[in-house]
Chain A
């Protein structure tokens, strides 16, 4: 039977969610890059300051089979359950929906009986989604008004189109493809929405066949990877508008729509420009009923000695920033930008959309720099800030350093040794590494972080 009161982690508006109590646990996707018969896991990290196990692994759930490549995951329910047109506030945010990006197997983990030891309560085998939704390689999970929305990179054969499909948020049954009319959309990656404007936004990476053996330089130089943004009618599930960011811009990835549902804008990162290896952040916004996008932040490549560069980059004599993840605080004020190549986490104040201001930066890892963490000052680190997650109150930011197995090997050929770090954020947006928080994952690689009770990329709101 359903509970009597709404789940206490649901908040009507993002501003109210910022008053939420600080998180005490993080769930982190940890995949095993070795083919040694050990499965991937969801790691549980203690985040409670003052706890004797602060910053340590306190639990681990192993997946039932090997070779999943756990990557992104999400909650079964969130504040969107309070949306006025289909409210169901007495469901609970308790299940983690954890797909294997390579295996297309979806695991449902129950965090309620013991948050430190979640239990796998259901496994959706790949064939079930192949049959019912004709999609494979599942990526982003969002809890939405109609159920659980999941994006997929391609078809079961590894080709286009990728898209979005739905899971029932009570039974976790596969409900089928979300799109009614996809228009010109063919590549897929991330998606999010403006609930107040009935709009879904989707981005483009590449089909499974284009990415699973590594970043293909031929495809890249011919602008074959994603370069579009797509806007959809969330209600009628129809494609409305595509925006081509231009042939030089490749890999349009993480979508961070303004959390305030009355605002019709958001941010997306482009990993690489073919012109100069720079990365960029684009603002999409609506004006007079049409969507537009423009570049608001450009992060240049840093010159480097070819001897220090992996084969893929030697010819360029520069290390690209490779902005591969961004995240936006709940008040839509600070945008965090992960430069996985140069090993830097940046914060920008984006309250003035015309003039984003760099407010903070920390260096960790990096293809050339190999910056170390204050907890282990003598240990050069590889990988760089990648998946970044922001606490609901906006005061703490957690990040991990692995991107995607096949691509890790190209940019960090010595093998990414995985870690997770944390920065504290000052009111003005300054960043300071927490010298006591440094988690190492042994021979597992960590990817997305989800915070207990919700975070800045897994909650959506219907009220301003």
Chain B
């Protein structure tokens, strides 16, 4: 039984990551302001989204491999342990990756975004949603799929066989939601809102993020 559609959760997390100024949109705005050009804002978002997608993709890929290779109970315990220790680490030492540099090209931005997403454990947050997905060809996969309440199962061609495409799609949809939200916020702030809002609305998302990771550790064990 799922209370929430997992696809919505996957995209919701993408939107949440996109919302975080530390994850990319603020960098895009800064580059636009530095170059005095809206095009610089546009140009910055794709590599930032790509870096995020790679980071997410690696976590999703590793989880898929683990589910293929190991018993579910072991994967769940291992994932819970990783999430818990990462969450606690971030709670005690809320560090940020050391990066210096405003003069960045496509490759730099992709790498930067990858580092930021990875250091913040962005992909780890998807683990509770994905961990219940079965192995390729496993009957549990069908069971889980039927529990998804997908309105358009045909959107996911290989899903009926519980294939790896579904995992790939999870990473892609997450990244797409991330891209859209980051893009819209960057544009709104650059064109309309201005940076003064940072002082008012930049709540400590890292802290929420940390609690989300800790909550994920528990979810992984019990969902």
Which residues of A are at the interface with B, using a C-beta cutoff of 8 A?
Answer: 1-6, 8, 10-13, 16, 82-90, 144-147, 170, 195-198, 234-235, 261-262, 462-464
Contacts and interface: CB of A to CB of B under 8 A. Distances in A.
A235 B30 contact: no
B101 interface: yes
Interface string B78-100: 00000000000001011111111
27 contacts: A3-B204, A4-B203, A4-B204, A12-B195, A16-B196, A84-B27, A84-B30, A85-B99, A85-B100, A86-B96, A86-B98, A86-B100, A87-B22, A87-B96, A88-B96, A90-B206, A145-B99, A145-B100, A146-B98, A195-B102, A196-B102, A197-B103, A234-B100, A234-B101, A261-B102, A463-B30, A463-B195
A86 B99 contact: yes
Contact of A262 (B21, B34, B97, B112): B34
Listed from nearest, the 6 A-B pairs whose CB atoms lie closest are A12-B195, A235-B101, A84-B27, A84-B30, A84-B26, A90-B204
B112 to A, nearest CB: 6
A365 to B, nearest CB: 40
A89 B112 contact: no
Contacts of B195: 12-13, 16, 463
A82 B96 contact: no
A198 to B, nearest CB: 5
Given A84-B27, A234-B100, A5 B34 contact: no
A202 B102 CA distance: 20
A262 B206 contact: no
B207 A12 contact: no
A342 to B, nearest CB: 41
Contacts of A3: 204
B122 to A, nearest CB: 15
B99 A2 contact: no
A87 B103 CA distance: 16
Interface in B1-44: 21-22, 26-27, 29-30, 33-34, 36
Size class of the contact patch on chain B: 20 to 34
Contacts, number: 95
A331 B161 CA distance: 63
Given A4-B204, A262-B36, A463-B30, A12 B97 contact: no
A261 B100 CA distance: 14
Nearest to B35: A262
B222 interface: no
A234 B101 CA distance: 8
B116 to A, nearest CB: 9
A463 B28 CA distance: 12
B202 A85 contact: no
A6 B199 contact: yes
B198 interface: yes
Which of B27, B98, B102, B112 is the most central at the interface, judged by chain A CB atoms within 10 Å of its CB? B102
A262 B30 CA distance: 10
B77 to A, nearest CB: 28
A262 B31 CA distance: 10
Contacts of A262: 33-34, 36
Given A16-B195, A16-B199, 11 more contacts: A2-B94, A2-B204, A2-B206, A6-B198, A6-B199, A6-B202, A84-B30, A86-B98, A86-B100, A145-B98, A146-B98
Contacts of A87: 21-22, 26, 96
B185 to A, nearest CB: 13
A280 to B, nearest CB: 31
A262 to B, nearest CB: 6
A84 B40 CA distance: 15
B204 A462 contact: no
A235 to B, nearest CB: 4
B100 A84 contact: no
A6 B202 CA distance: 7
Given A462-B30, A464-B34, A5 B100 contact: no
Nearest to A234: B100
A129 B104 CA distance: 33
A272 B222 CA distance: 74
Nearest to A237: B100
A262 B35 CA distance: 8
Nearest to B23: A87
A198 B99 CA distance: 11
A463 B26 CA distance: 10
Given A12-B195, A85-B112, A462 B206 contact: no
A73 B196 CA distance: 29
Contacts of A261: 34, 102
Nearest to B200: A5
Nearest to B92: A1
A13 B95 CA distance: 24
A245 to B, nearest CB: 27
Contacts of B199: 6, 8, 10-12, 16
A147 B100 CA distance: 10
A6 B204 CA distance: 8
A86 B33 CA distance: 17
A261 B31 CA distance: 11
B198 A89 contact: yes
Contacts of B206: 2, 90
A88 B33 CA distance: 20
B131 to A, nearest CB: 29
A173 B81 CA distance: 30
Contacts of B196: 12, 16
B47 to A, nearest CB: 13
Taking each of A2, A89, A197, A234, which has the highest tally of chain B beta carbons within 10 Å of its own beta carbon?
Answer: A89
Contact of B102 (A6, A88, A146, A198): A198
A9 to B, nearest CB: 10
